[in-house]
Amino acid sequence: QVQLVESGGGLVQAGGSLNLSCTVSGSSLRFNPAGWYRLLPGKQRRELVASVSSGGTTYADSVKGRFTISRDIFKETVTLQMNSLKPENTAVYYCHLDVPRRDYWGPGTQVAVSS
């Protein structure tokens, strides 16, 4: 059974930093792409923030240079270091694992950035 558990969300002032972590069990990051998505307030669809795979990393334009995604294939963790946070980064952040024929999601962690 595949499970994703996020941690590290919280409330931070604008300009601050947070580190989100996702622990994967029941599957392997070595062979499957993973990433972070977010659901912004008032929106109905999650949007991609960053992803990581054996081929490299990708980022949404709005977070390039401020967010860094990384993975540890031995600890089965995916982290998102978020720096220079802005109020518009307030959202629920979800860890995602892309397994052939199936997507897995964590329950989400709230990030709130005050101005």
Walk along the chain (115 residues) and give the pLDDT tens digit of each residue.
Answer: 899 999 999 999 999 999 999 999 998 898 999 999 999 999 999 999 999 999 999 999 999 999 999 999 999 999 999 999 999 999 999 999 999 889 999 999 999 999 9
Report the alpha-carbon distance of residue 70 to residue 45 in Å, rounded. Answer: 24
3-state secondary structure of 84: coil
Nearest Cα neighbor of 42 from 101, 90, 82 is 90
Give the residue from 15, 98, 5 showing the smallest Cα distance to 54. 98
- Cα first-last separation, the chain: 40
Residue in 15, 55, 10, 18 with CA at minimum distance from that of residue 35 = 55
